[in-house]
């Protein structure tokens, strides 16, 4: 079994105010996942999962699938827009960081499998934020 690819990256949270702020995010890929899913874990613990191909295609051209939109911003930046019931979060990434991450995921992916060409599942937000005033689950 191939090892999981995990990368700590820095993104910029884009807000409607005049300033953006850097935020640490975790990029994760498990080659055992037949859906070829990448995960972006945000600082608040929210984990967004979507097909690796969405991120790859977004490096070249705007693309949208479900609650996730991805598009290049100039030659060096990539925008990832995440929609949820809580609103919209927009992050700006350095393209070279994502290219290195994606290259590592391809190096860890088994050569071919029956599901290699299957369309990934729609994007899913796998960790929901607690409702306002609710306490996070403790375990």
Q: CA angle 105-46-77, nearest 5°?
A: 55
Q: How many CB atoms lie within 10 A of CB 47?
A: 15
> Is residue 1 very low, low, confident or very high in pLDDT (cuts 50, 70, 90)?
low
pLDDT of residue 108: 86
Instruction: Tell me: pLDDT of 118 over 70.
Output: no
Q: Give residue for tokens 């990256």.
A: 9
49-108 per-position pLDDT tens digit: 999 999 999 999 999 999 999 999 999 999 999 999 989 999 999 999 999 999 999 998
**What span, in angstroms and rounded, lies between the C-alpha atoms of 122 and 131?**
24
pLDDT of residue 2: 64
**Reading across the β-sheet that carries 5-14, which strands appear in turn?**
63-65, 68-73, 77-84, 87-94, 5-14, 21-29, 37-41, 47-51, 124-125
Q: State the greatest distance between any 2 C-alpha atoms of the chain, in Å, as a whole number.
A: 48
Q: The whole model's pTM is what?
A: 0.76
């Amino acid at each position: 079994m191939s090892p999981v690819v995990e990368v700590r990256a820095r993104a910029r949270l884009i807000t409607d105010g005049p300033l953006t702020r850097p935020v640490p995010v975790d990029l994760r890929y498990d080659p055992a996942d037949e859906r070829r899913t990448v995960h972006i874990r945000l600082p608040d613990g929210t984990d967004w999962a979507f097909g690796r191909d969405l991120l790859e295609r977004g490096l070249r051209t705007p693309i949208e699938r479900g609650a996730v939109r991805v598009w290049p911003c100039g030659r060096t930046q990539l925008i990832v827009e995440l929609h949820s019931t809580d609103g919209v979060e927009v992050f700006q990434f350095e393209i070279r960081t994502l290219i290195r991450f994606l290259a590592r995921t391809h190096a860890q992916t088994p050569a071919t499998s029956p599901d290699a060409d299957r369309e990934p599942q729609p994007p899913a937000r796998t960790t929901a934020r607690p409702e306002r005033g609710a306490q996070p689950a403790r375990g």
